[in-house]
Amino acid sequence: MPGRSHMRTDALLPTNTGPIATACGDVAVCVGEGSGELQKSKGDFYQLAAMSEPDGSWFCLVGPPTAREPALDPTRPTSERRRRIARLASELSPQRGLSGLKLVDRVCVALRWDARRGELSVRRDHFGRVPLVHREEGRASTASTSVSTRPALITAWRASDTPPPLWQDFLQGRDSRARADFWPGVERVFPGEERRWRAGRWQSVFRPWDERAKASASLRHTRTEEPDQAEHLLQRLVGVLQRHLAEPDPVFAMSGGIDSTTLVALRSERERGVRTASMVSSRHPAFDERARIDALVAHFHTEHRFVDIGSPTLWTPEQADPGWPDLGPQLLWDAPYTRHFLSALRTDAHSAIFGIGADQLLLSLPVLHLEERARVANLSQLTTLMTQASSSRDRLRLLAAKARLSPAIRRWRGGLVDRRPLLFEGWKWDLSMRALERFRRHSGLRFSFPFLDDDLWELGLTLSHRQRRWQGQAKGPLRRALQERIPADLPQQGHHSIFNELTAEGLLRLFGPEGPWGDVLLSANLPGPLLHGEAQRQTLQWLRDGAPWRPTAPATTARYLTSIAMWLHWSRHDARV
């Protein structure tokens, strides 16, 4: 194909195979006999910009008038729109096709027509999916459905001075070199992961794209036997727990979660008369987990104490701020709820042991712990911490933490937005540590956090992210420990469903239309990899459906949502200060 001299730049659509209709997210495109038209979708007429060739192959962009894409702006000159399409086409990658097109606004959809296969291939969306292609034969009432698994426009459009490969090579299947990382039934989400169609559903599997990366990847992600690995962590945890019991009259703050329950289970195996305490609220029924905690106490035979913090005489957020609703207590927020709980423990205990830190240890957040250590580290210790950081960005964060510049940098970069790796773990860490440090200074209780011990973190920092996720779950070792120490009939909380619901509700409150960062959700500046893949698809679909209430675990959900609200409240307060 010598140059691009024979290419026609117009909006003619293929008509030699009958009418075709395809749905791409919220975009509906209809191709009729002899003419093309765009259907109205959700109140917007979508614009079309296309480049076609005599053999029927073409490349187009589809999007609403608000797409801010120059090629879709009907007020611009036609020559300028054509030059914009040519520039976009020159940016394509042969390996990733249209999925690597970074210049197109997210609300646009890129498509190409494969005349030989009779398919309309579309650019993979943000979740790596290829939409369905519906074909209607002779406008019959019954329509057969086919799925396009070919990547869109693998043989990329290039600049005019670089002639592209012949379209005939692509149509006749002689494009194996350009399609080396693709075969039907496989979706590549990001390098190192692909989703294969197995047993009637898509399954995520690990496979490096680059054949040469297989050896190094196998070394990075080599896992020892899971039982030995889990037992090694539990042995370290038992030793750490023994050191934290040096204080007289310790009491375990057992909330019913997997973290605190694991500590109580490990201790009750070696000593009878373990003392535990829990916070309950008679005024907030959704917060009361008395039934589950009673079952744990009966099994472990602990000396338990319930502290009712739902007394109407206690201070509530509604009394302090008339515009702030009383959402219920949260164990670790700075409010008289917690002050009353710790004051009750102080009457017969000298130290309290909490399960805080398991999320940070096992949910791939070592940089938060490294920042805390970098603030008080000397030069040699800081050098060691820099070697433990996994990226140059983390190293800069450690230097900023040492220079006490982290709060100022976060305010300068994002205002109220916490741009650390995981938003929810970030606010839980900030809020918990700030409140407990204040309580430690004023209550007289000594607080112990076994999961934050340096011994465990030295073990955790030597493991890769995949090695930390035993059994496919971040807290696999803790779950295995509880399975061996708790009878099967004891009710267990479904943490995956809890945190799916929690994440969706938190997104709605923070990034929803009425939230303080409602415009962030629709942009590419979402703080950190909050969700991935299927979880992100489910969350966004949940928001589109109007955020229906699904009370999976109301007690845990209410507790965490209260913490989200208070974290948002204190973030606004800190920003004003």
Q: What is the pLDDT of residue 28?
A: 38
Helical (H) or strand (E) element with 187 = strand 186-190
Query: Are both 394 and 440 inside the same structural domain?
Result: no
Rounded Cα gap, residues 215 and 349, in angstroms: 54
Max mean pLDDT among 67-76, 85-94, 377-386, 547-556 falls in 377-386
Query: Do 273 and 309 meet the contact criterion of CB atoms below 8 Å apart?
Result: no
Query: Are both 164 and 256 inside the same structural domain?
Result: no
Could you list the residue range(s) of the whole structural domain that residue 31 is in? 20-182
Span 112-129, pLDDT tens digits: 554 555 444 544 444 444
Query: Are both 462 and 315 inside the same structural domain?
Result: yes
Residue 512 lies in a domain: no
Kind of pairing, strands 27-31 and 20-24? antiparallel
Query: Are both 210 and 300 inside the same structural domain?
Result: no
Rounded Cα gap, residues 149 and 144, in angstroms: 16
Residue 451 lies in a domain: yes
Kind of pairing, strands 20-24 and 44-45? unpaired
Query: Are both 61 and 151 inside the same structural domain?
Result: yes
Task: Reply yes or no on whether the pLDDT at 375 is more than 90.
Answer: no
Q: What is the pLDDT of residue 302?
A: 93
Query: Are both 231 and 270 inside the same structural domain?
Result: yes
Amino acid at 553: A
Query: Do 368 and 429 meet the contact criterion of CB atoms below 8 Å apart?
Result: yes
Span 386-411, pLDDT tens digits: 876 766 777 887 888 888 777 676 55
Query: Are both 482 and 349 inside the same structural domain?
Result: yes
Rounded Cα gap, residues 200 and 404, in angstroms: 53
Query: Are both 460 and 429 inside the same structural domain?
Result: yes
Span 29-71, pLDDT tens digits: 433 333 333 333 333 344 555 554 444 445 666 665 556 677 7
Kind of pairing, strands 186-190 and 144-147? unpaired
Residue found under tokens 């694991």: 262
H helix and E strand count, the chain: 20, 19
Residue 449 lies in a domain: yes
Rounded Cα gap, residues 86 and 158, in angstroms: 8
Q: Which residues of 312-323 are buried (b: 16+ CB within 10 A; e: fewer)?
A: eebebbeeeeee
On whether the pTM is more than 0.95, the answer is: no
Residue 519 lies in a domain: no
Q: What is the pLDDT of residue 473?
A: 61
Kind of pairing, strands 275-280 and 250-253? parallel
DSSP 46: P
Q: What is the pLDDT of residue 474?
A: 67
Number of structural domains found in the chain = 4
Handedness of CA 456, 457, 462, 465 (dihedral sign): positive
